[in-house]
Chain A
Amino acid sequence: MTDNANFEPSAAELERRRIRAKAHRKSILISLASTVLFAVVAWFGLTSTPGWSRVQASFFDWNTAVTAWPLVLDGLWLNLRVLVFAVIGVLFFGLILALLRTLKNPVFFPLRIFARAYVDFFRGLPLIIVLYLVGFGIPGLRLPGIGRIPTELLGVVALILTYSAYVAEVFRAGIESIHPSQRLAARSLGLSYSQSMRLVVLPQAVRRVAPPLMNDFVSLQKDVGLISILGAVDAVRAAQIQVAMSANFTPYVVAGLLFVVLAIPTIRFADRITEKFAKREQAGNAL
């Protein structure tokens, strides 16, 4: 290895560096100027519309926002709890469905078909319909021995039913992306099918699908707001109540912003792991 400490760049290299630095400064200035220009044009475009003052009063009213804020925040706490249970359930059932779909033995044909039909069905069925069917259908059965089922629980069930189907597909893609030679190596060491799956294939598959998995959870996080249609007083429902009382739409904006704020950490986290795995892939690793 040659010594780099006493390295003196040549005149040609210094000239190259000077020109590159100049080009760099220039592009920063251009991007700054265009951002400012765009913001100014958008602001004037919006505020000069004939109805802007009315829209401003009914969507961005400070006093309404302050009144609605604590109640919407209360509702958001329910969303969070629903989210936690939904995530756990979705991970569990999604994984089970994915594993059922990868079973090769003809004995498991009915299970495989069931998993496949389930995934097809719930990927196609709009979540809002599932919410209606579960939210109003299950209580309608008047199951003996069970009293009134809380609406948030019904919401969790509906979310799990739908999202398990999506997550199952992500898991399955991950399992199938692991090269068969890894399983072959595991089997040749005497590990059983389920041991190879549990100890060799799944750990690698989960790492590989972590980014798309996170994407589904970002999406789930915001769809949690749909449980409001069942009557559960979550952030959206709380906002709706405030809208009705104040005859002003600002609470919706408050709830919307809260959902965005809630989603940002998840989104950043998703970006971070995507980046991390992309780096490993580029390092020439098969993981």
Chain B
Amino acid sequence: MTEIDWNNPRLKVRGLRKNFDQKVVLGGVDLEIYPGQIVALIGSSGSGKSTLLRCINLIEGISDGQIWLEGRDISVADIDQDEVRREIGLVFQSYNLFAHLSILDNITLALQHVQGKNQDEAETIAMQWLERIGLADKAESYPDKLSGGQQQRTAIVRAVALNPKVLLLDEVTSALDPELVGEVLELIRDLKATGTTIIMATHELSFARDVADWVVFLDKGVVAEEGEAAEFFANPKNERTREFLSRLKAL
């Protein structure tokens, strides 16, 4: 693994605010992530985790603040949003595979129509990924024939196949049966091993402790506490963090 250049974050967020009408969902968030890192966003429902990820992907317009991707300000008004989204992958809690396309076509769609690869190239790349996650035999199946875990792994692969600079995972295991969570987490671990840079909103605290390099605790739209994973979980300093962690442990 190459040494991380601490002067050049892959993604940097400063003072990000998001209001929905009068409601403040994000009240000035700072965040950065370096190449090859995993940052885990934790916090209770409604703390702004999903909104933060959607703002970074420019699917949600921001109310204030700035976002830089590899030093380029992507929050300027005249940015080509489609072009930015090509560099930032986003995977949703509800998989959102395209229902009318086979598993293979789900993955090749953007490879062909966004990256301009021809069908053969796109299918080769897609099949490599499907083999990696053990779903090569499902290539021609439609999403409704797959289990939730298989669908979610396909959705992650659909985003990673485009080689994004940052991959955003929005509670990708929350809709899954407990027995299917493991296979999705395994894929994320595997992606980290090959250098994918990931920001993930998650409720899987033990996974975050194991795999994340940095943990950010969002509370009511602001970063209440953040730190290196081991230290964060061992010695939470903020009162709200301790409360949140003990509440989840009790479950």
| A contact residues around B144 at 8 Å (CB) | 283-287
The distance from the CB of A182 to the nearest CB of chain B, in whole angstroms, is: 6
In Å, the complex CA distance between A286 and B114 comes to 25
CA distance A283 to B155 in the complex (A): 21
Q: Are A181 and B96 in contact (CB under 8 A)?
A: yes
Q: Which residues of B contact A287 (CB under 8 A)?
A: 99-100, 144
Q: Does B85 lie within 8 Å of A181, measured CB to CB?
A: no
| Structural contact, B99 and A189, CB atoms closer than 8 A | no
Complex: how many Å from CA A237 to CA B165?
69
Enumerate chain A residues within 8 angstroms of B158, measured Cβ to Cβ: 189
A-B contact count (CB 8 A): 69
Is there an interface contact between B82 and A190, defined as CB atoms closer than 8 Å? Answer: yes
| Measured CA separation A172–B118 after assembly (Å) | 32
Does chain A have a CB within 8 A of B90?
yes
Tell whether A204 is near chain B: CB-to-CB under 8 Å: yes
Interface residue ranges of B160-208 to A (CB < 8 Å): 162
Please name all residues of chain A whose beta carbon is closer than 8 Å to the beta carbon of B162 when the two chains form the complex.
189-190
Q: Mark A181-223, 1 if CB is under 8 A from B, else 0.
A: 1101111111110010001100110010000000000000000
Q: How far is the CA of A185 from the CA of B98 in the complex (A)?
A: 8
Q: Using Cβ atoms and an 8 Å threshold, which residues of chain B touch A285?
A: 99, 142, 144
- B100 pairs with A204, CB closer than 8 A: yes
> Chain A interface secondary structure, helix, strand, loop or mixed?
helix
Interface pair B94/A181, CB less than 8 Å apart: yes
Docked-complex contact A190 and B92, CB < 8 angstroms? no
Cβ–Cβ < 8 Å partners of B59 in chain A: 184, 187-188
Q: Kindly list chain B residues whose C-beta atoms are within 8 Å of the C-beta of A286.
A: 99, 144
Contacts of A182 in B (CB 8 A): 96, 98-99
* CA A118 to CA B201, docked complex, whole Å: 46
- Residues 78 to 95 of chain B near chain A (Cβ within 8 Å): 82-83, 85-86, 89-90, 92, 94
A287 to B100, CA, bound (A): 7
B99 touches A187 (CB 8 A): no
Which residues of B lie under 8 Å from residue A188 when comparing CB positions? Answer: 57, 59, 85, 89-90, 92, 159
Distance A283 CA – B99 CA, assembled complex (angstroms): 13
Given A184-B59, A287-B100: A189 touches B110 (CB 8 Å cut-off): yes
List residues of B whose CB falls within 8 A of some A CB: 57, 59, 82-83, 85-86, 89-90, 92, 94, 96-100, 109-110, 113-114, 142, 144, 155, 158-159, 162
Given contacts A184-B92, A185-B97, A190-B86, list 16 more A-B pairs with CB under 8 A: A181-B92, A182-B98, A185-B92, A185-B98, A188-B57, A188-B85, A188-B92, A190-B85, A190-B110, A191-B82, A195-B114, A204-B98, A204-B99, A285-B144, A287-B99, A287-B144
Residues of chain A touching chain B, judged by Cβ–Cβ distance below 8 Å, are 181-182, 184-192, 195, 199-200, 203-204, 207, 283-287
28 pairs, A vs B, C-beta closer than 8 Å: A181-B92, A182-B96, A182-B98, A182-B99, A184-B59, A184-B92, A185-B92, A186-B98, A187-B59, A188-B159, A189-B89, A189-B109, A189-B110, A189-B114, A189-B158, A190-B82, A191-B109, A191-B110, A192-B82, A195-B113, A200-B100, A200-B109, A204-B100, A283-B144, A285-B142, A285-B144, A286-B144, A287-B100
